Amino acid sequence: QQARAFAPASVGNIGVGFDLLGHAIEGPRDVATVRRIDAPEVRITAITGDVPGVDRLPLDAPRNTAGQALIALRERLGLAHGFELSLQKGIALGSGLGGSAASCVAALVAANALLDAPLSRDALYPFALDGESVSSGSRHGDNVAPMLLGGVVMATHDRMIALAVPAWLHAVVVHPDQMLETRRAREVLAEPYPLPLVVQQSAHLALFLTGLQRGDASLLREGLVDLLVEPRRAPLIPGFDRARQAALDHGALGASISGAGPSTFAWFESKAEAEAAAAPMRQAFVDAGFDARVHVSPV
Ligand code: HSE
């Protein structure tokens, strides 16, 4: 028995929801092919794909996000059988597009289809967190959750909530040819934050969530401003400030770092606006000396 599943790339944090909010995008994706085997173990047979970093991914299951997720699934469900897994990477590692999370979610969804009693997406969430934490060193669901549910998702430590999204909302995501390790991008957040700044960020998050719920562009514009994480990470990403500015100059509701970076995203009120901003946002990274890929997607 064999099953295949894909998981899309995602924009983690969405600026104001550090480790809490994320959304899936159309375009890049990872594909997992899983076979049910009699042996009580998880094996990874191959990892292929024409993306940077693929050669550095471990085939050793406990050290691989997808492998670890399936190990957790087997152990917690007490399965007698095992899984054999191969991965086809379409999302670059260290890109800020959820590359490690996508392998893990694709593998889980494929393996789930092979269970005698498949689980709900909600029930798969803890296993996805188990897998993803292998790569980032921390348990956060802002990437795996939108990959499991689609759309914009709020991901707490133990549950996922899909949020309403206005139909006109579109994102531009630019992936510059740089690699930024999530662990490194988290190190710069270690120093404490002053409480007044946290309060101001809370206001932004509240405005942002209310804007989403009401489909109110001006609330989203006020809310999509990250005062905590972006200022500390932006210096790690050459070209980011100019790409963000290019987005705002072209009418973006807001723009920030996708996940741990270096990918950069912006939200727009229409597909046409997003398409018009895509080339200037990409050009900002080219001017900084990097090749870059750009994706326009409904949110
Ligand atoms: N939220 C994580 C971070 C990355 O910003 O470090 C995506 O899971």
What is the per-residue DSSP string for 24-73? EEEEEEEEEEEEEESSSSEEEEEEE-SSTTGGGS--SGGGSHHHHHHHHH
Long-range contacts of 247-253, Cβ-Cβ distance < 8 Å, separation of 24 or more: 247/172, 247/277, 247/280, 247/281, 249/280, 250/276, 250/277, 250/280, 250/281, 251/277, 252/172, 252/277, 253/217, 253/220, 253/221, 253/224
Nearest CA to ligand 1 atom 4: 259
What is the per-residue pLDDT across 48-70, written as a single tens digit (0 to 9) for each? Answer: 998 877 888 999 999 999 999 99
Ligand 1 pocket check for 142: Cβ under 6 Å = yes
Q: Global pTM?
A: 0.95
In this prediction, residue 278 has a pLDDT band, given cuts at 50, 70 and 90, of very high
pLDDT at 133: 87
Mean pLDDT value across the chain: 96
Strand partners, 87: 32, 47
Nearest CA to ligand 1 atom 6: 260
Ligand 1 pocket check for 143: Cβ under 6 Å = yes
What is the per-residue pLDDT across 185-231, written as a single tens digit (0 to 9) for each? Answer: 999 999 999 999 999 999 999 999 999 999 999 999 999 999 999 99
Give residue 252 CA to ligand 1 midpoint distance, Å.
22
What is the per-residue pLDDT across 140-162, written as a single tens digit (0 to 9) for each? Answer: 999 999 999 999 999 999 999 99
Nearest CA to ligand 1 atom 1: 19
Query: Which atom of ligand 1 lies nearest, measured to the CA of 229?
Result: 5
Determine the average pLDDT of the residues in 163-191: 94
In this prediction, residue 136 has a pLDDT band, given cuts at 50, 70 and 90, of confident
Ligand 1 pocket check for 128: Cβ under 6 Å = no
DSSP 3-state percent helix, strand, coil across the chain (nearest 5): 40, 25, 35
